[in-house]
A and B are shown apart, each in its own frame.
Chain A
Amino acid sequence: MKISIEERLGLVSFEVDQEGHIKVDTTLCSQCEDKSCLNFCPAKRFTLENGELKHDYEGCLECGSCKLACSKGAVDFNYPKGGYGVYYRYG
């Protein structure tokens, strides 16, 4: 039973703020060899486009692993403003 990440995120409700709650200093990413964020983010919010690291705060599950695990310290993660972000219905 393989369910794509897009399909999984489709089951979660989000209230999207205009301003992103994740900021990434991509100048540090260009020097990063492992780019482990591509793997460890459980919502696959970090992707590579033509070798350049892109991130999308929309669909973020707010686990905070990027803040803790980015080896370059390039990710500035904060919880979204009150009323915005992910809504879990089942916990």
Chain B
Amino acid sequence: MYIDQLIETKLEATEIMGEFNENPIVAQLIQGGKLVEYSAHVIPEASRTELFTHGLLVVGDAAGLVINNGITLRGMDMAIASGVAAAETVKYAMEKIDFSKKSLSHYETLLKQDFVLRDMNTFKRSPQFLKNARLYSFYPDLACGLFHRLNAVKGPKKRVINEILEETRGHKASMILDMIRGLRAL
């Protein structure tokens, strides 16, 4: 969860995991389990500043090299690859005995050759898209509402497409926009 969303919704950070654990599906899976440790971590998504300057290379989380594409949250692979690239760059700079910003820009070249900066670029719209509150309230409710319409034993049923059209009444424009944004972002 984003910290600003946490503040906006006034949710207690300490309660989020508890609520997740109480979800009937999750509760069933962890039944009889024992909590062995409690931890918290901030993931610095989309906060990339300069990756290098005179005498300095920034890697992994510190460089904001994290990708959230809505399904997977990647950081470990980016940390490893940027660490390798940083080591290669240090080796390169040592050979020239030049640790200037210009020399260390070799780091960026390596990250562009490898997947790190290419993937960051591919998913650059993803953080903004995933901040859309409709993804976490409106769409799950819509899915539940639709299945309720299709399965509830209550009066005659319409054709599926008509049930969908009815359930999404008044929201189609924003849904189309979300879909376009989603396709572009993810």
Contacts and interface: CB of A to CB of B under 8 A. Distances in A.
Contact of A2 (B3, B7, B18, B37): B18
Interface of B: 3-4, 6-7, 10-14, 18, 21-22, 27, 30, 35-42
Interface of A: 1-3, 5, 8-9, 11-12, 34, 36, 39-44, 61, 63-65, 68-69, 86, 88-91
B37 A88 contact: yes
B14 A44 contact: yes
A69 B38 contact: no
A89 B4 CA distance: 29
Given A40-B13, A41-B13, A42-B13, 20 more contacts: A1-B27, A2-B18, A3-B35, A8-B14, A8-B35, A8-B38, A11-B35, A11-B36, A12-B37, A12-B38, A34-B7, A36-B7, A39-B7, A39-B11, A39-B13, A43-B40, A61-B40, A65-B13, A89-B37, A91-B39
Q: Which among A8, A42, A43, A88 has the greatest number of chain B C-beta atoms within 10 A? A: A42
B3 A40 contact: yes
Contact of B14 (A5, A68, A69): A5
A90 B37 contact: yes
Contacts, number: 65
A43 to B, nearest CB: 7
A68 B30 CA distance: 33
A39 B6 contact: yes
A52 to B, nearest CB: 20
Contacts of A86: 39
Contacts of A68: 3, 42
A2 B6 CA distance: 20
A91 B36 CA distance: 11
B35 A69 contact: no
Given A63-B41, A63-B42, A90 B14 contact: no
A64 B42 contact: yes
Contacts of B22: 1
Nearest to B11: A39
Contacts of A64: 42
Given A39-B10, A63-B42, A69 B4 contact: yes
